[in-house]
Amino acid sequence: MSFVPENRPYAFISVYDKQGLEPLARALSEVYGYGLISTGGTRAFLQERGVSCIDSETITGFGDLLEGRVKSLHPDIFAPILAKRGKAGHETRFTIDVVVVNLYPFESARLTPQATQDPLYLLDYIDIGGSSLIRAAAKNYPAVNVLCDPAQYDGFLQELKLGGGHSSLPFRQKLALQAFQRSQAYESAISQEFERQTSDAHATPSGNAAGESALPARVTLDLRKIRDLRYGENPHQRAALYGLGHTQADFTQLHGKELSFNNLLDMQAAWALACEFRQSAVCAIIKHNNPCGVALGRNAADAYQRAFSVDPLSAFGGVVAFNAPVCAETARQMKDVFLEVVIAPAFEPQALEILESKKNLRLIQRALPPADAPAPMDLKPFGAHAFLAQVADGAVASDIADRLREGSLQAISQRQPTDEQMADLLFAWRVVKHVKSNAIVLAKDGRTVGLGIGQTSRIGALEIALRQACDEAKDAVMASDGFLPAEDNVAAAAQARVAAIIQPGGSIKDKDVIALANQSQIAMVATGLREFRH
């Protein structure tokens, strides 16, 4: 049966996600007089619900080819979409003024076990016809409405209602923008997956850090706005939170006023530090993106008390992160302290009840990431048109702990650290990688006792840490994020009776530094890794 066009508008509908489709199709057909053209499963879905559709096969003269890989890719479908209305040479038998298409769910399919087990599995989730239809309709937005997301349906029907069955040019242009954004995000997801697969297939042997962290030649980020923020770092700056391929954050706010830009910055800094530790409960207190107290504990309450005691003054107005559930005792300890945010994997009901009495305190629940989660890309703007990119710092402290167990991490001094000192050295090393450079961390018994942050000289950072630690520097350990460039750092540590030092090593003064450590009976461990944080 051949297709005889009628004098009315037409809509082409072919969707994977059929959410909200029936009311949209029914309104187009019954309220606004559109003829509906459809394919395969979409046509069957609508006809089962009493919505009349024209099979695209009656227009093109061709059924599905290649097991459905070729259905709508035909001039008799694309010409009515792309034709410039009223232009000589662009006459068609009919026109398609609405295109309703959404794509195969490649993004979610790539997360399934099948995608991991079968490298060819995802090929069937790469949409060709749908992607082409979306782009064609968006290109001809002066005449065509393109709907590529069920979330657009209600707004489109409202537009038709206000326009007496017609949409405005600005509205169609906005739909076209969203279509090209969707197309870009879709292609980006596919290219990223191919990048991952080819990178895995050509992975370099371990030990070559530069090869292991090779970065792609091109990066496309699908950033979607999660929410607008009141302002940025300062009230005169506008700001928003974006998700990479998502419109929802990976945390839940249980209580408190709206999160600010600075809250989110400090919250992430605190969370990243807390997630360094998996074997023991830890509390990290952050102020202006730097730790002011970090401690291990028997539980969250013990860890908080120990971390807070490091620097109660700086903890005022801080952000507190835990890697363990917050219990009632922890909540009671925090209740009378002014804090901006508390973030943890869980809050016991009684703890929530206690903390919710503080109207403005933001309580955030966030699941701990998998221990083997891949390190994300770290991007920093470089002027108006460039970015610096690096693979984010991984759990190098764990690598060092592994080397210790294997016996390949050794002291470079004559004196060997005790087991207790080595545990503190590894604790301090995990913390120092989260402190702005130049950075010095003094620690004892799984607790920071002194922090030297963001100084232009290493000895300056050490002097600040020693002043904060005061008498607690005795028998403490010291972590330095960079090598010790001169003997003055060891001399100052020795005068304060610091027991052991962990540092990258590699200074031209290493021989003198080690000699002074030996003379001062200080154990010194070299990691071979620098941990600058700018």
Spacing of C-alpha 256 from chain mean position = 23
Residues 6+ apart with CB under 8 A from 95: 9, 10, 80, 81, 83, 85, 143
Helix-strand-coil split of the chain, %, nearest 5: 40, 20, 40
Distances in Å between the alpha carbon of 401 and those of 407, 410, 422, 426? Answer: 10, 11, 9, 7
Token readout for 398 is 């764990």
Strands of the 251-255 sheet, one edge to the other: 251-255, 362-366, 339-344, 318-322, 281-287, 290-297
Distances in Å between the alpha carbon of 72 and those of 76, 100, 146, 185? Answer: 9, 13, 16, 22
Rounded distance, CA 175 to CA 161, Å? 17
H or E stretch including 116?
helix 113-117
- Provide DSSP, 159-203: HHHHTTT---HHHHHHHHHHHHHHHHHHHHHHHHHHHHHHHHHTP
Rounded distance, CA 480 to CA 442, Å? 9
Spacing of C-alpha 389 from chain mean position = 15
Rounded distance, CA 30 to CA 377, Å? 50
**Three-state secondary-structure class, residue 231:** coil
**Annotation says 288 is catalytic:** yes
Catalytic-role residue among 288, 335, 436, 509:
288
Rounded distance, CA 357 to CA 352, Å? 9
The answer to whether the CB of 122 falls within 8 A of the CB of 109 is yes
Token readout for 1 is 């049966």
**Three-state secondary-structure class, residue 388:** strand
Q: b or e along 207-235 (b: 16 or more beta carbons within 10 Å of the residue's beta carbon)?
A: eeeeeeeeeeeeeeebeeeeeebeeeeee
Token readout for 294 is 């970090």
Rounded distance, CA 21 to CA 272, Å? 42
The answer to whether the CB of 526 falls within 8 A of the CB of 476 is no
Q: What is the DSSP letter of 65?
A: B
**Annotation says 84 is catalytic:** no
The residues annotated with a catalytic role in the active site are: 139, 288
